[in-house]
Amino acid sequence: MIWDQSFALSIIPQLLEGLQVTVQITLLGFAIAVVLGLVVAVIRRLEIPVLSRVLGGYVQFVRGTPLLVQAYTAFFVLPAYGLRFSAVVTGVIVMGVNYSAYCAEVYRAGIQDVPRGQWEAATALSLPAHSTWARVILPQAIRSVVPVLGNYLVQMFKDSAVLSAITVFELLNAAQSIGSSNFRYLEPLTLAGLLFFLVSFPASHFFRTLERRLAPTH
Amino acid sequence: MITFQQVSKRWGDNEVLKSLDFEVLPGEKVSIIGPSGSGKTTILRILMTLESPNEGLVTVNGKTLWDVKAGTRPKEAKEMRAARRDVGMVFQQFNLFPHMSALENVMEAPVKVLKMDKEQARARAVDLLEMVGLAKHLEHRPPKLSGGQQQRVAIARALAMRPKVMLFDEPTSALDPELIGEVLGVIRELGHSTDMTMLMVTHEMRFAEEISDRVATFDHGRVIERGAPHEIFNNPKEERTRKFLKAVLEH
Ligand SMILES: Nc1ncnc2c1ncn2[C@@H]1O[C@H](COP(=O)(O)OP(=O)(O)OP(=O)(O)O)[C@@H](O)[C@H]1O
Ligand SMILES: [Mg+2]
């Protein structure tokens, strides 16, 4: 099979549409993941009886099952229980929930790294618990994990290709459908891979630089 | 202002405080001296509610901070929180909030705890930072400041809550020698200019002698001797005090 340049050029608009969906799903899923993950990490740390343990189990379970299985379950099984969403919405939720478990672990490490003296200073100033978290602990914990979260964003961007399995019309799915309707897979799949790379490479480079700049100040 | 009655603290088999009775009068400046591991920091940490006693009664300004019967679990009570507000602490390692400027460090608790409005809190924070000689560093974050400057911000931060009791746990022992003077100067000034009760743990014997109304020597979780500084330093009655002072002064 020889590279067909004019075919390749002609399919770029369609692929860019797919890329747009990929980016949207990634950003929305990431927004869910960073917020949900933070809530999970904080509640776990608060050691609330039952609830903290349940969330610990949640983290273990989500991390211990493949994203693809989670996506299939959400797409094929949940509707039977009356939870019916479009493929895109299902995809966003699955990505968000999946990565929330990883984010929760990252935050947990970040929270643990805040020196004990910070908690003690907050107690000595009689700061209420919510101010201690919001003003003292989390700003430091989150700052130290921003680069790791950034890497997860990049990883999520690539992992979102899994959602083509549940009919989400993202970049990989766009490439596949171009391939099957034209009986030519070389150009669409190559270009799809290239587009993934063109976004993820500079992004991970950016987060590596950020990591060096945000090195802890303690 | 501060009373300890029959206070015990253990970690495993290590009995750090043994039925301690101890008292500090309102406005008194008291220094605690004693060998390493004798429980000096533990006393301050119990007063700051960073540790709980296994047994005993601790009051601050007439309010019950801890009231633990033998064999019961200490619990955080409403009255404890009220009592804690009367206490401020300066730590050995400063423990400033590194992501906030000096000014923000000092403003934080007045705004969040005393519900002071921001402008008023800022004005007071500026006054306090000027008082500790940091008028030029209001906007600097702790990592940009020297140890001596950080500790002075920490003093201003504690003062901003208008405590009735200030605790100092070896406030200069993490500092380079040339920075000790500026911090001691601030504490000395505070001692002369306020009627705040001050309880400090220090290895700076000359400073303790000069600033204290009373000095207490500790060993193995007990008060060995207490008295006016000139008595303790020049004419100690207890053999153990004498030994300790000899060891420190030879240093
Ligand atoms: N969190 C803890 N867990 C176990 N043991 C502890 C803890 N904190 C203090 N101790 C022990 O309690 C004893 C008294 O400690 P404390 O810090 O009060 O001594 P100190 O008089 O302040 O000594 P130093 O002059 O070295 O600061 C020590 O034997 C110490 O090992
Ligand atoms: Mg100590």
Q: H-helix or E-strand containing B48?
A: none
Cα distance between residue A144 and residue A111, in whole Å: 9
- Tell me which residue range forms the domain holding A102: 5-114+142-214
pLDDT band (50, 70, 90) for residue A109: very high
pLDDT band (50, 70, 90) for residue B235: confident
Nearest to B241 by CA among B228, B222, B229, B225: B225
CA angle, corner B247, sides to B242 and B251, nearest 5? 140
Chain A CB within 8 Å of residue B85 CB:
yes
Instruction: Tell me: pLDDT of B250 over 80.
Output: no
Q: Is residue A134 part of a domain?
A: no
Q: In Å, how far is A120's CA from the nearest CA of chain B?
A: 7
pLDDT band (50, 70, 90) for residue A78: confident
Residue B238 pLDDT: 82
Residue B221 pLDDT: 85
Each residue's pLDDT tens digit, B73-95? 777 678 889 999 999 999 999 99
CB-closest option in B91, B109, B158 to A117:
B91
Instruction: Tell me: pLDDT of B251 over 70.
Output: no
Each residue's pLDDT tens digit, B123-168? 999 999 999 999 999 999 999 999 999 999 999 999 999 999 999 9
Cα distance between residue A83 and residue A75, in whole Å: 9
Instruction: Tell me: pLDDT of A217 over 60.
Output: no
Q: Is residue A133 part of a domain?
A: no
How much is the mean pLDDT over chain B? Answer: 91
CB-closest option in B93, B96, B161 to A126:
B161
Higher pLDDT, B232 or A62: A62
Residue B4 pLDDT: 94
Chain B CB within 8 Å of residue A213 CB:
no
Q: Is residue A136 part of a domain?
A: no
Residue B151 pLDDT: 96
Nearest to A16 by CA among A154, A196, A167: A196
Q: Is residue A10 part of a domain?
A: yes
Which of A185-189, B69-73, B153-157 is predicted with the least confidence, judged by mean pLDDT? Answer: B69-73
Please report where in the chains the tokens 């008295």 appear, as a residue.
Answer: B227
How many independent structural domains does chain A possess? Answer: 1
Higher pLDDT, A110 or B251: A110
Selected residues 226-245 of chain B with any CB under 8 Å from a CB in chain A: none
CB-closest option in A125, A128, A217 to B98:
A217
Cα distance between residue B175 and residue B184, in whole Å: 11
Name the residue type at position A209: T
Higher pLDDT, B117 or B244: B117
What was the ipTM of the complex prediction?
0.93
Residue B224 pLDDT: 87
Q: Is residue A100 part of a domain?
A: yes
Q: Is residue A110 part of a domain?
A: yes
Each residue's pLDDT tens digit, A15-48? 999 999 999 999 999 999 999 999 999 999 998 9
Residue A215 pLDDT: 65
Ligand 1, pocket residues at CB < 6 Å: B 11, 14, 16, 36-42
Instruction: Tell me: pLDDT of A10 over 80.
Output: yes
Instruction: Tell me: pLDDT of B44 over 70.
Output: yes
Which of A72-76, A178-182, B70-74, B104-108 is predicted with the least confidence, judged by mean pLDDT? Answer: B70-74
Residue A216 pLDDT: 55
Q: State the ligand closest to the CA atom of B33.
A: 1
Chain A CB within 8 Å of residue B104 CB:
no
Which of A136-140, B17-21, B72-76 is predicted with the least confidence, judged by mean pLDDT? Answer: B72-76
Q: Is residue A40 part of a domain?
A: yes
Each residue's pLDDT tens digit, B160-217? 999 999 999 999 999 998 999 999 999 999 999 999 999 999 988 888 888 999 999 9
Tokens coding A98:
């999946």
Cβ–Cβ gap B50/A126 under 8 Å: no
Q: Is residue A130 part of a domain?
A: no
The CATH code of the domain that includes A14 is 1.10.3720.10
Q: Strands B14-24, B197-201: parallel, antiparallel or unpaired by DSSP? A: unpaired
Cα distance between residue B153 and residue B114, in whole Å: 19
How much is the mean pLDDT over chain A? Answer: 93
- Give a three-class secondary structure readout of chain A: CCCCHHHHHHHHHHHHHHHHHHHHHHHHHHHHHHHHHHHHHHHHHHCCCCHHHHHHHHHHHHHCCCHHHHHHHHHHHHHHHCCCCCHHHHHHHHHHHHHHHHHHHHHHHHHHHCCHHHHHHHHHCCCCHHHHHHHHHHHHHHHHHHHHHHHHHHHHHHHHHHHHHHCCCCHHHHHHHHHHHHCCCHHHHHHHHHHHHHHHHHHHHHHHHHHHHCCCCC
Each residue's pLDDT tens digit, A189-205? 999 999 999 999 999 99
Instruction: Tell me: pLDDT of A9 over 90.
Output: yes
Residue B72 pLDDT: 66
